[in-house]
Structure 1
Amino acid sequence: MHLERLTLILEVVGQKGHATVAEICAQSDLPKPTAYRLVQDLVSSGLLKTSARGQFAIGTRLKRITRSDHSDPALLEVIAPVLATGAREHGAAFFLSRLRGNWVEIIHVATPETGVSYLHPGVGKRPMHACSCAKAIAAVSPELLSHGELNGQLKRYTEHTITSGKDLAKELDFIRAKGYAECVEELERGISSVATTLGKTGVGSTLSIGATASVRVFTPPMRGKIGQALIEMSHELSSALGWDGADANMKSA
């Protein structure tokens, strides 16, 4: 019964585009207190959002779930070839990461096929505070790191790991200014990476592309060069995916 009521509310809002609690009650025959409580539950979970004073619309989280063209396989059809080109041209491993709930996960890696040695970043979850792919996403969605449960959970992996919330906030400001994130021995000694998101809003803000290599290869000038290359790639990919480039991309340095 509870799930049916939630589904009914989502159907009403989805069909109307925007709806007030009164309109939801009129369409669903739910008592106003019940409808209001359920709407607030849906808002808190990201399935609905407040669109105007007293009105509600379908939330970003539900849109991400229902848009099949944003599934991993569909995105990789467009993104994987571009990452492969980057790996070949720069002689380093390039990767795609995606926000999964409260985690960022590397879901695809392209490696150079030129015979040069390279570092493979592996796939799987990455900490929000100690990897470029995650920090890039956190920079455009700082609320991901604003939850109280994060306090005391900034695990130290090396002596270079950021473990202070204040220092992390400064780092995210720096990332927003540059347009890309760097990780220099924060997760593992001797390893560095650079990453940027595919957009500042929407699905693009939950995806990041990046590259990784040893600190010997990814010197500060090289990281800057890779960062700019990644920004250009993000522009190309946003356009190819049909996203609004004016709104979707991070500010270029």
Structure 2
Amino acid sequence: MTDGPTRESVLTRAVSILECFDSDSPVLTVSEISRRTGLHVATASRLIEELVTHRLLERDTERRVRVNVHLWELASRALPALSLRDTALPVMQMLHRIVGHNVQLGIRDDADVLVLERLIARNAVQNVARLAGRLPLAASSAGLVLLAYGPPGVAETVLAGRLERFTPYTVTAPGQLRRIIADTRLRGYALCRGFFTEDATGIAVPLRDGRGTVIAALSIVVPNDANAHNHLPALQAAAQAISETLAQQRGR
């Protein structure tokens, strides 16, 4: 699996190639992949051809490289997160119509919030979250909910690390964040005014599975004004409906 005792495995290098692609860079040349991964062009080219053979990558008419839909197909067959997304989506669509603002579904993946789904409202406040994108745990309403209900060690690890400031209102003091996390658990929701973008308020509530374990966060992004809190009841009702459906699915 390796070319030598100190070199990365073939699998590690193949994964590094797949991780080059994102919503800002859906199509790349071999040279660009080589620069992003640090692999020699010849090595990158060889691995890309193998990934193309296995239908994990594909080439366009200009020989540029993109992710093949087969990779999504493989993930969709068994990934529990996609089943959660399918269960939540009808209720999210209803909530989207009621509040008229952006609605998001996120889970914790390591030290980030992974966005499983987002519904964008026309003329709504800017929403920087992207589908399959990531948000910081400590600076997003969904992240604070997931920290509040997650394993204690995760929160302590996040608080001990570098806390990035995105706006003048981002809380970066570990002690203050620890209190916010505790308040989130006590109240059952997180409300973050201007934490991530100054003109937006994020509000998030937990989603529970059939065992009562918090597995995700449902959130809305609304204008940062005096009316933000008024959307909380609709958000809570939507989360309750999704959690009840998850519990029914577990009982079948």
Short-chain TM bin: 0.5 to 0.7
Within 2, Cα distance between the matches of 1:226 and 1:70? 31
Which residue is equivalent to 1:122? 129
How big is each residue's C-alpha offset from its partner over 1:29-87, in whole Å with a ceiling of 9 and x where there is no partner?
Answer: xxxxxxxxxxxxxxxxxxxxxxxxxxxxxxxxxxxxxxx87623211221011111111
Change in CA separation of 1:80 and 1:204 when aligned onto 2, cut-off 3 Å: farther
The answer to whether the Cα contact below 8 Å between 2:104 and 2:115 also exists between their aligned partners in 1 is yes
Which residue is equivalent to 1:158? 167
Mapped pair 1:81 → 2:90: yes
Within 1, Cα distance between the matches of 2:180 and 2:193? 13
Alignment of 1:85-124 (within 5 A): 85-112=94-121, 117-123=124-130, 124=133
Structure 1 residue 143, shift from structure 2 partner: 2.6
Mapped pair 1:144 → 2:157: no
Percent identity between the two aligned chains: 19
Within 2, Cα distance between the matches of 1:195 and 1:229? 11
Match of 1:180 among 162, 165, 189: 189
How big is each residue's C-alpha offset from its partner over 1:99-126, in whole Å with a ceiling of 9 and x where there is no partner?
Answer: 11222112211234xx654533432111
SS of structure 2 residue aligned to 1:163: coil
Alignment of 1:1-253 (within 5 A): 71-112=80-121, 117-123=124-130, 124-141=133-150, 142-147=152-157, 150-199=159-208, 204-216=213-225, 219=226, 222-242=227-247
Letter of the aligned partner of 1:71 in structure 2? Answer: P
Letter of the aligned partner of 1:194 in structure 2? Answer: I
SS of structure 2 residue aligned to 1:157: coil
Give the gaps of 5 or more residues in structure 2. Answer: 1-76
May I ask how many residue pairs the two structures share in their alignment?
A: 171
SS of structure 1 residue aligned to 2:196: coil
Within 1, Cα distance between the matches of 2:230 and 2:223? 15
Structure 1 residue 170, shift from structure 2 partner: 0.7
Change in CA separation of 1:104 and 1:117 when aligned onto 2, cut-off 3 Å: closer
Structure 1 residue 155, shift from structure 2 partner: 1.3
SS of structure 1 residue aligned to 2:104: strand
Within 1, Cα distance between the matches of 2:184 and 2:241? 20
SS of structure 2 residue aligned to 1:241: helix
Change in CA separation of 1:74 and 1:155 when aligned onto 2, cut-off 3 Å: same
- TM-score of the two chains, using structure 1 as the length reference: 0.60
Within 1, Cα distance between the matches of 2:176 and 2:124? 34
How big is each residue's C-alpha offset from its partner over 1:195-220, in whole Å with a ceiling of 9 and x where there is no partner?
Answer: 0111399685230001002214xx2x
Change in CA separation of 1:122 and 1:155 when aligned onto 2, cut-off 3 Å: closer
Letter of the aligned partner of 1:176 in structure 2? Answer: R
Q: CA RMSD in A?
A: 2.7
Structure 1 residue 169, shift from structure 2 partner: 1.0
Change in CA separation of 1:243 and 1:157 when aligned onto 2, cut-off 3 Å: farther
- TM-score of the two chains, using structure 2 as the length reference: 0.60
Letter of the aligned partner of 2:176 in structure 1? Answer: D
Within 1, Cα distance between the matches of 2:193 and 2:213? 24
SS of structure 2 residue aligned to 1:195: strand
The answer to whether the Cα contact below 8 Å between 2:106 and 2:116 also exists between their aligned partners in 1 is yes
